Every structure is written in structure tokens, then in C-alpha cells.
Structure 1
Amino acid sequence: MKFNFLTKQKNTIVNHENATAFPLTPEYELYASVVTTSLSASFYEKDTARLDRIKTLIQKCNPVFVAKLAVYARNEMNMRSVPLVLVVELAKIYSGDALISKMIVHVIQRADEITELLAYYQMANDRKGTKKLNRLSKQIQKGLAVSFNKFDEYQFAKYNRDGSVKLKDALFLVHPKAKDEAQQELFNKIVADTLQTPYTWETELSQLGQVKFYNVAEKQKAFTNKWEELIDSNKIGYMALMRNLRNIMEANVSGFHIEKVCHYLTNENAVMKSKQLPFRFLAAYRELKELPSKYTSMVLDALETAVMVSAKNIKGFDVNTSVVVACDVSGSMQQPISPKSKILLYDIGLMLGMLMQSQCKNVVSGMFGDKWKIINMPKRSVLSNVNEYYKREGEVGYSTNGHLVLEDLIKRNERVDKVMLFTDVQMWNSNSTNHTFANSWNRYKTIAPNAKLYLFDLAGYGYAPIDKQKNDVYLIAGWSDKVFDVLHALEDKSSALNYINRIEL
């Protein structure tokens, strides 16, 4: 985003490192907060602080923008929970036309999101007792009724879980209108709990897990056969396959079946349809890296190929455009994105940084903490590059001295077109000098007046380290490779908010 959306305030504010910072408009702060949250604790925020901040910001923002942001977060950033929060919280304060119902139809992409939305509605409105979902918002009711028409029996059965709100509860509550007799029969099955149990790899393995085996060898052979059967069935989804690569390899399936798995992992159509966040490939890569299997290298190569396929639509820069890619590996970036995840914020930064590096022909890359260090890597080894950076992060220390990236360019009198930092934007100076991030950029612009600065905000804490409306500074937020679509939209001097506002409801 161009920083012409920043508020003008005379009072000095500071970031979480007590360094001078600049506030964002409510719309921009909401955008950055939403696309960088798993609704769990961050390094600087408690469990409920992010959710509370999002709820407060919704009340300050244009309702149409909030609706479009929810659609963007769900359909382009592939987020699931936070778009439902935006729906419910906006419905609390906005009524009168069809905005909420249209928003819901665009946001609901899986059958279980119908019940998850109602579960959050119940919680957010502190509903208890037998009529906990009574007096449901009319627009939420209308949107969910239309959403019921999106799914078939397999999709309903797959997500017909025994949660606080069941599909049957939702059906009775929103009264969807069947589009034909076949769908009415499907609704009747939901009511009668007679949906046909879907064939899934989970049910197959679960049933096998209940069998008593004579010995360990017999059990091993049974699971080998079952995984080979599941692979041959072609019914394991892309994400499920990635998450189970270790299980598959430890089941000692045949080389033929490993090749089949690798073929699917690298299939361009399968990769693009899967809409995987980049760090999912990294998680799978790390899970297998030390596995003592004769097929480990083959699968690691397949994951590298899959990442390059996923990056195919990223518009990089040609040899005539010079780029600096700088990844923040400071202490605050070493924070899991959720309590159960092994993925850290700086993993996401490194992954996005290496994806960008892989698509640029005239590029220097490196990492910063106490120091800034250039570490150039091959272009076709995104995952192994991230792993190499991961092993070397201690070489630069753990502060957030992003200004050193700029000071290095100034010292070398190096003119570049684009400077990209992947960071939590909590910039400060730990080196006892007078340099600030904003000051360093202003000085660099006297050397390279056409240079542009892109800050990729991976944490969404609500501040920026610089406030220069006419100095080619942009801020983009998110964990998906879709952030690069926003990057290229900014080439026309637009903003991240304008990119979101292009969405039609």
C-alpha cells in the first residue's frame, strides 16, 4: 500500500520495540491484521488481543470494505476462520440491505463453514441454553440458506461432525429452499442422519487401526498394503497427501507407489487446484529431510518441483529491474503462527523471500537481525534455500535492524529499483547510532530517486516504521504467495486497499 492512507497525528507513537512508528488507517490496519492471523497468540499479542483488535477495527471501517476483505481473505489468501469472524462481527453492527448475505455466499466454500459460522455467532453473542441460536440475523440466515445449495451429499457427509452446532441444527435454523427434488431428498437425509458415509482415506485407515494383528510384521504389511491401495485409488487430496508423506514412506510402500506420489505432487493442475500456502511445502520438506529412506531424495525433489510450479504465476522482474530481497530473522519473527504449528513467522518470510528471488533475474538476497548479510542462493532450490537460511540465522543476530539493508546500499552507492523486506515491521536500531529506518530510506532516495520500498508485513501489529506519502513506500500484508499479485497491482501507483476493493459482491 502507498502510505497516502496513513493518518496524520502529531503525537509520537512507538512500536513494540519502543521505536518511533506510524499508525495506519483503520481499513489498512484491519487488512494487515486479518491476513496475518491464525487467531492465536503472537509474539507481542495475547490470545484474545488480536481478535479484540479486529472486532474494534470492524466498527471503524466502511462495511463494504469489510465484506470485500472477508471475501479476499477466504478466496485469495485461503484463510478459513477469520473471514467467518468478519461476517458475524459486521452483522452485529450492519443491517438494511443484502451486503451480509452476499458476503456469506462468497465466503462459505466448505460445508462445515456453515456450522462453524453459526458456532462463532453463538459464541460472539454469548448465547446459552436451548435457544442459543434464536433470533438469528436475517441476512446471516438468508446467506446460509443460499450456501446450502452449494454442496452435494459427499460434501455434507464428509463434514457432518458432532460439534456444538450440527448440520441438522443449521438446516432447521435457516430453512434453505431446495432447488429440486434431489436436493430436497438430500436435506431430508441431513434431518434423518442418513447421509451415506463417504469414502475417505481417514475412514479406511481408522478401520484398519481397529484390527488386532498377530504381530508387528503382520501389522506393518497391512498398513503397507492399505497405503498402496489408497495411493492407487487417487482419492487422497493434495494437502492430505503432503501431510502424510512421512507416514507413507514409513509404511515402506513400493518404489512404484512413491513415483506415483511424486507424479501427483508435481502435477501442475493438481498443484494449482490445491491452493496451498507456501509454508505447507516447507513443513512437508522439513518433516522428511532427515528420514532414512532410499526414496527421501526423490520426494524432496518432487516438493522442490511442486514449489516452482506453484510459483509459476508469480510475476517476477527481468534483468533490467534490480531487486534486493531482505528477510527478517529477528527474535520476534521466531514465533509459531499457531500453538500447534512448527512453522514460524520467519519461515514464512524466508519462504516468500525465496519465492520472489526465484522469479527475479537481477536480484540480491540476504537476511537481517543485528546485522545485514547478503547470502545469494540458486533460483531453483526454494525449499533447500530456506533450510540453509534457517541454519544460518544466528550469523546476523536477533534485533530488527532493517535500516542496515538501506545503509549498505548507501555505503556502496548501489542504485536498485526495488527493495523488498519480509518482516514483522517492528524496526528499531540496536547499534547505538542515530539511524532510523525512515531516515535511512530518505537518504537512500537522494542516491536512487526512482527506487521503491516494499514492506511485506507478516505480523499485522498495526504500525509502520515509516510515514512518507510521496517517497515510494508500500506496505503489503499476508502469508500467501498471492501477496505478489498485490505487489504487481501496485506498479500502477495503486494501493493494497484498492486491490481488495476491486472485488465484486
Structure 2
Amino acid sequence: MITEPKYYETAEKRVTEIINDLNEIVDKDPEFIVKLAYYSRNQLNLRSTSNFLLAWAASKHQTHSFLIEYFNFIINLPSDLLDFIEKYQGIIGNTGVPKFPSFIQSLVKKKFPDFSEYQLGKYCSEGKRKRMLMKGKKQKINMKLLVKCCHIKKPAHLVASIIGKRYPRTMEGFNNSSFSEYMDFNPEMAGKRMKIRTPITWETTLSEKGNKAECWEGLIKSNKLPFMAMLRNLRNLLITGVDLETNKKVVEKLRNPDVIANSRLFPFRFLSAFESLNVDLEYLQKIKEDPNYEETEEEKAKKAQNRQEGYEYFRGSARPKRSEVKKPAKNKKIPNIVPTSEIIAGYKEALEEAIRLATALNVSPIRGHSVIFCDASGSMQCKISSGPMGSIRTCMDLGYLFGLMLRHVCESCDIYLLSSPNPPETPKCWRKVELSGDNIFDLLTQVRVVSDEMGRSNEYPYDWFENVIKEKSWIDNIIIFSDMIISDTCSEMFDHNESYTSYQILQKYRDEVNPNLRYITVDLAGYARDMSGANFENQFKNLVIGGYSDAILKLISCTQTTQAGAVRACKAVKRSEIDN
């Protein structure tokens, strides 16, 4: 969100704009910047953004007293601390040997004892560092360097394990060391190098025992498989052939309101899981009967064609053909028990219910009549920043899904697609989508069908606004999911016949129909381009959201959420009310 380059602007430009805004605030209300970092991390789950705000604040003396109060409650993980230090080095322009001023050292020393050995082993192990190097992600800062440069002394046993000190050879030496405060003497460790133990997680268990039915059954029955990991591995459960008891426990979790509410997952995560359930049962049955069975070239071609068609929802978004992708050969997974079509149908029904629960439990009802516009223009086919999740591969897909999610919690709602005319199917730049049914997957397909009949340019729906103003149609909320159409700096935002801007036509509606209209624009690509300068920004009933997360639905559903409301939410954070 902070560092990723986008199509319409560079990452450097976006960071510069954010820093300019922070410079305007720091002298007026330095505490607000630190509160914003806390709110971003703990309410909106935006890790990179909060770390950037912290790093910038650490470079300004005005915010230091507030950082001392809030720092421990914003940095939640060892990886957060390393990311904060790296961002700080970048902000102060240091590209050489890392610098750790005394103030930074004091923050790090104060936070470090909060980390457990489990956290340090999971997020900052040597194995993780090597894996990141293999992926081409070189860490400038590691925990060993941080401990040495910040002169961290406690907890002594964790510090010694990170640095790699030798364990005391005798009981007397152990008692004279500070290790005795944290552990008992272990003769087997005498004289050996200390190191952070690799924690036992579902990943390490799977790595040790392999992707087998017995391994998955053990993890699920012992409740050691986190919900997110279970959701992402539903396909593995099926192709390895877990037993009926395990399948039953999985379905129960997917239908459990408490589990869904605590998962805090993006709604489209469930859609990605749903699509992973398309398992070839006939093939599984054949390799179960004959482990040496090999598919014919005709069968392979047919499978590849089916996968290709499954991804061709939009022009230009098809998956590469099988012949164009070279993948290493994989070992066959021989299922213990071949799943039945009834089991897969049960998984799909449970996922449909999980989506409804996730929306109902995490999003408050939106009162009044709402109009949702989903941008269907060509620029919306840019890939989403987190990478493809099933068929949710672009901002266009994401906008449709968010629109349908909101429809589920709106008291009254109309959904429109927005792009450019494409006669004769779509004579205007907007088109209302008539939806039938409640199944989110069927509804998404219906929206995609209408999308194929739209143009691919950007135009703003001035004529639609003129119609609702003329007819005095009452609307409480207008919500637009787009990537750049929210900016009056774009030529598409001007009505060339009437010389309107989007702000002016919006103000006309408020003057003549509903003065309390909420106008919310969600820039899914994260450009968050300026809105007509001060005119738009000073209208507190407007709200601009850049990027995406599960918090978007929560923000939109809050009846009083506007620009002013978002600021009040950050200012309302009180240090005295934060749990220690």
C-alpha cells in the first residue's frame, strides 16, 4: 500500500504525498499521527502503513513523547519491529550501515521483552531469512544485528540464543549467569551454541510428515490447524483423502459463527476456497485403483481447456495456457479415501454459509437506500496487490465482490456497472444490474455477464445524476468501487457539455434533494488521487478510501462514517484505555 508502484503513479510519488500531509499535521497535532498508526495496525490491520507512520514519527522530535506511550501497542510481532527499523533507515536516507540513535534503541529495548521464543522462532529464524533470500528479498536488518546494535540485554536467554553464545559448561557457571532467572540448568546443552528453537507449527509438522491424509487428520482433530490455513488447504484435504470425521469437523468450523467472526478474513478468501474444490473425482478414483495410472494427452488437454475457460471471465484476464507454463513434475497424491460428490457439495454449502456469516457478523446494516457503482472499465483489470485468489485476480473482480457483499447488508440497494457506452446493449456509461437469488457465486456470474456488454473506457454518470435530481429520487448512500475515476484530475470526471465536475453535480444533488447524502469512493488500486482540491476534501460527508482490506466494509457500514468520522475514530484512541 505504501511502497508498491501502481499504473498511474509511482510509489515514490505516493510516499512523497503522504509525507507532505504528515508534515502539515506534525506541528499542529503530533499525537494524531501516532494514534493513526495505532488505529491502522489494530483496527484496520494495515501492517506496512502503520510501520511507515511509526518510522516517520520516529524521525521527528515532536512525536517522540507519544511514541514512548504507544510504540509497544503498535509493534505486535518481531517482523513488525524489523520492518519499522528498515523503513526508518530509508526515511532518514541511510543506505549504508544501519544507524540506531539512542531514542530508537530505547524503543527497541522496551519492546523486545514482549516477544516470546515462539514468536522469534516463527518470524525471525535463520530458516526464514534463507527462504527470503531464495525469493530475492534481502533483509538489510536482522534480529541479530538489531540485538547487538541496540545493546539489548534482556531476556538474557533469548538474547544469547539470537547471538549464538555458548551455554555454560557447569552448574556453577549457569548459576553465575543471568540465565538462571529464566530456565533450569540443562546438562545436555553444556558448552553448545545456543539458538532459537524452531517452533512446532502446522507448517513444520507438514514439512516433517508430508502432505498426507494422516498428517491433516492429526492437525485438524488436535485443533492445531489455524482457520486460515484450513481454508487454503481444503483441496489438499480432498486429494489426500482425509476420513469422514475430519471432513465433518471442517464443515462444522465453516458453519461456526464464532469461528467465522474471529477469523477476520476477506470475503473473497472464501470464494478462492470455493473454487479450489473443483476436484477431478474420476482421476482420483483411477490413481487409487492403479497408482501407476497416467493420463492420456487428450485428457490432459481437456483439463487444461477447462481450467482456461474457468479463468476467462474478462477480456485479457485469462490464465496462461498449460503449454505456456513449464512446471516441474510433482509426486502423485494417492488418496486414502476418494472423496464423494456429496462431500464436495457439503464443503461448498458450508462455504456459502461462511460468506453469509462473515458479512452478517462483521458488517453492520447500512440504513436507508444505497446505490453502488462498480467500475467495469479497462483500467480495472490491473492485478490486485495481494496476488490472484482463484478467479479474484483483478480490481474489477474485487469491486464486484465488495459491491455484492454490501448489497447483502443494505436496507435497500441498487447495483450499477460503470464504464462507457457500448451500443446497442449499453447505450449509456452506466447500467443497472438486475440480480436474482442469494448465492454469492451465482450473483458474481450474473454481474460478469453484464460486464461483458459494457465499454472499457471511463466516463462519469452525469446523466444518471441529472435524472435522479430531476425525479427527486432519495438516496442516502452512494458508493463507488473504482481505481481512478474518483479524481477530478481525470478528464473523464468533467461533463464536457455542461462543464460540470463530479463535485459540482454531487453538490447539486445535495442542494436539491438530500443534503445529508454520504458519498463514498473506494480506490481499490490504492492510488487515492486527489478529489477536486479543497472543495471535495472539506465536505465532511465525503469519504475517500485508498486500497482495500476487510476494514472497508466496516467503514462503509458505519452510519456516521465520513471524512470527519474517520478522523474522530483515530482521535478517540486513548492511551489509558489500551490494555497492557
Aligned mates of 1:96, 1:357 — CA distance in 2? 42
Greater RCO (CA < 8 Å, at least 6 residues apart):
1
CA deviation after TM superposition for structure 1 residue 72, in Å = 1.7
Say whether 1:245 aligns with 2:249: no
Say whether 1:317 aligns with 2:366: yes
Question: Aligned in 2, Cα 1:196/1:280: closer, same or farther, shift over 3 Å?
Answer: same
Q: Contact 1:100 / 1:139 at 8 angstroms: preserved in 2?
A: no
Kindly report which structure 2 residues correspond to 1:171-182, keeping only aligned pairs within 5 A, or say none: 171-176=147-152, 178=154
Aligned mates of 1:350, 1:191 — CA distance in 2? 50
CA deviation after TM superposition for structure 1 residue 160, in Å = 2.3
Question: Aligned in 2, Cα 1:492/1:345: closer, same or farther, shift over 3 Å?
Answer: closer
CA deviation after TM superposition for structure 1 residue 118, in Å = 2.3
Q: 1:354 aligns with which of 404, 414, 432?
A: 404
Q: Contact 1:38 / 1:337 at 8 angstroms: preserved in 2?
A: no
* Alignment correspondent of 1:105: 72
Question: Aligned in 2, Cα 1:140/1:486: closer, same or farther, shift over 3 Å?
Answer: farther
CA deviation after TM superposition for structure 1 residue 255, in Å = 4.0
Question: Aligned in 2, Cα 1:450/1:388: closer, same or farther, shift over 3 Å?
Answer: same
Find the residue that maps to 1:495 and give its secondary structure.
helix
Say whether 1:78 aligns with 2:25: no
* Alignment correspondent of 1:27: none
Aligned mates of 1:432, 1:190 — CA distance in 2? 65
Aligned mates of 1:287, 1:408 — CA distance in 2? 44
Kindly report which structure 2 residues correspond to 1:343-382, keeping only aligned pairs within 5 A, or say none: 343-370=393-420, 371-377=429-435, 380-382=438-440
Question: Aligned in 2, Cα 1:186/1:161: closer, same or farther, shift over 3 Å?
Answer: closer
Say whether 1:146 aligns with 2:117: no
Which AA in structure 1 matches 2:566?
A
Instruction: Tell me the matched-pair count.
Output: 447
Kindly report which structure 2 residues correspond to 1:134-283, keeping only aligned pairs within 5 A, or say none: 134=99, 136-162=100-126, 163=129, 164=139, 165-176=141-152, 178=154, 183-192=155-164, 193-208=194-209, 223-283=212-272
* Alignment correspondent of 1:503: 573
Q: Contact 2:220 / 2:246 at 8 angstroms: preserved in 1?
A: yes
* Alignment correspondent of 1:24: none
Q: Contact 2:460 / 2:494 at 8 angstroms: preserved in 1?
A: no
CA deviation after TM superposition for structure 1 residue 148, in Å = 2.0
Question: Aligned in 2, Cα 1:471/1:99: closer, same or farther, shift over 3 Å?
Answer: closer
Say whether 1:454 aligns with 2:454: no
**Higher-Rg member (1/2):** 2
**TM-score when normalising by structure 1:** 0.77
Aligned mates of 1:177, 1:102 — CA distance in 2? 22
Aligned mates of 1:65, 1:109 — CA distance in 2? 20
Kindly report which structure 2 residues correspond to 1:52-131, keeping only aligned pairs within 5 A, or say none: 52-62=16-26, 63-94=30-61, 97-127=64-94
Say whether 1:306 aligns with 2:354: yes
**TM-score when normalising by structure 2:** 0.68
Aligned mates of 1:208, 1:71 — CA distance in 2? 40
Which AA in structure 2 matches 1:326?
F
1:442-475 alpha-carbon deviations (Å, 9 max, x no partner): 4433552345132233234331258358977411
Find the residue that maps to 1:415 and give its secondary structure.
coil
1:225-257 alpha-carbon deviations (Å, 9 max, x no partner): 222222223212222222223333333333432
CA deviation after TM superposition for structure 1 residue 150, in Å = 2.5
CA deviation after TM superposition for structure 1 residue 123, in Å = 4.3
Q: 1:403 aligns with which of 461, 466, 472?
A: 461
* Alignment correspondent of 2:289: none
Of residues 321-330 and 460-469 in structure 1, the stretch that sits farther from structure 2 once superposed is 460-469
Aligned mates of 1:140, 1:116 — CA distance in 2? 13
Question: Aligned in 2, Cα 1:412/1:107: closer, same or farther, shift over 3 Å?
Answer: same
Q: Contact 2:377 / 2:455 at 8 angstroms: preserved in 1?
A: yes
Unpaired runs of 5+ in structure 2? Answer: 130-138, 165-193, 282-340, 421-428, 487-491, 576-580
Of residues 355-364 and 88-97 in structure 1, the stretch that sits farther from structure 2 once superposed is 88-97
* Alignment correspondent of 1:394: 452
Question: Aligned in 2, Cα 1:101/1:469: closer, same or farther, shift over 3 Å?
Answer: closer
1:110-135 alpha-carbon deviations (Å, 9 max, x no partner): 22222222233344445456xx233x
Percent sequence identity over aligned pairs = 24
Aligned mates of 1:267, 1:253 — CA distance in 2? 21
* Alignment correspondent of 2:98: 133
Question: Aligned in 2, Cα 1:95/1:188: closer, same or farther, shift over 3 Å?
Answer: farther
Which AA in structure 2 matches 1:424?
D
Of residues 254-263 and 381-390 in structure 1, the stretch that sits farther from structure 2 once superposed is 381-390
Find the residue that maps to 1:346 and give its secondary structure.
helix
Q: Contact 2:475 / 2:514 at 8 angstroms: preserved in 1?
A: no
Question: Aligned in 2, Cα 1:402/1:138: closer, same or farther, shift over 3 Å?
Answer: farther
Kindly report which structure 2 residues correspond to 1:290-301, keeping only aligned pairs within 5 A, or say none: 290-292=278-280, 294=341, 295-301=343-349
Q: Contact 2:540 / 2:562 at 8 angstroms: preserved in 1?
A: no
Aligned mates of 2:63, 2:449 — CA distance in 1? 55
Find the residue that maps to 2:410 and give its secondary structure.
coil
